[in-house]
């Protein structure tokens, strides 16, 4: 199954239309995407696995591989580092995003298969499916849904399913 995020903020959740937030830099082709541009990459990206905060809820009901995160989990976003666009343990000597956050954005994270096989330095990192902020404020390049919609998606998702980011 392919779940579709449209550049105008609509999201097709298996035939039910809802809202999503995309990058503050709009959408860009994967060829034009680069680290720090705030854009969501156009294309279809497999849902690799799910990360969740165990202190903020049980593991999500999903057929996808799921793993709890902890306070020392991060994601390297330093293009020159060998661990670029992969999970790391914090503190980490290069720039890395903290996955254990005070807000609820990363309470559930879907790892999307953008720039990961192998990562190309500078083409963008940490492009996730995660929980939207109030008001669907733009992301740094991710796809964000309200918690209830994300949980519904995860219930329906199977290995091999993907999220497509398309121009509306």
pLDDT of residue 162: 98
The answer for residues whose C-beta is within 8 angstroms of residue 133's C-beta and 6 or more apart is 21, 103, 105, 144
Among the listed residues 40, 35, 23, the one whose alpha carbon sits nearest the alpha carbon of residue 165: 40
Per-residue pLDDT of the chain (168 residues; tens, 9 = 90+): 999 999 999 999 999 999 999 999 999 999 999 999 999 999 999 999 999 999 999 999 999 999 999 999 999 999 999 999 999 999 999 999 999 999 999 999 999 999 999 999 999 999 999 999 999 999 999 999 999 999 999 999 999 999 999 999
Q: What fold is seen in the domain 2-166?
A: L,D-transpeptidase catalytic domain-like (2.40.440)
pLDDT of residue 64: 98
- What is the CA angle 157-160-126, rounded to 5? 85
pLDDT of residue 166: 98
Give the bridge partners for 74, in sequence order.
88, 98
The owner of tokens 């330093």 is 78
pLDDT of residue 132: 98
**Strand pairing report for 143-145 and 27-29:** unpaired
- DSSP label of 41: E
Both tokens of residue 36?
A: 């720090």
Ramachandran sector of residue 159 (left: φ over 0; alpha: ψ -120 to 50; beta: rest): beta
| C-beta separation of 21 from 89 below 8 A | no
DSSP string, 94-147: S-EEESS-SSSTTSEEEEE-SS-SSPPTTS----EEEEPPGGG--BSS-EEE-H
């Amino acid at each position: 199954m392919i779940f579709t995020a449209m550049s105008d903020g609509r999201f097709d959740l298996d035939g039910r239309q809802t809202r999503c937030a995309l990058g503050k830099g709009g959408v860009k082709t994967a060829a034009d995407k680069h680290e720090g541009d705030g854009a969501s990459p156009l294309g279809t990206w497999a849902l690799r696995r799910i990360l969740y905060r165990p202190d903020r809820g049980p593991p999500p009901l999903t057929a996808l591989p799921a793993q709890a995160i902890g306070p020392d989990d991060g994601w390297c976003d330093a293009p020159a580092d060998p661990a670029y666009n992969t999970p790391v343990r914090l503190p980490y000597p290069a720039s890395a995003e903290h996955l254990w956050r005070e807000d609820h954005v990363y309470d559930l994270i879907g790892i999307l298969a953008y720039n990961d096989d192998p990562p190309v330095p500078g083409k963008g990192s940490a492009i996730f499916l995660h929980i939207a902020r109030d008001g669907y404020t733009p992301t740094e390049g991710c796809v964000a849904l309200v918690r209830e919609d994300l949980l519904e998606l995860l219930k329906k998702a199977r290995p091999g399913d993907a999220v497509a980011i398309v121009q509306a």
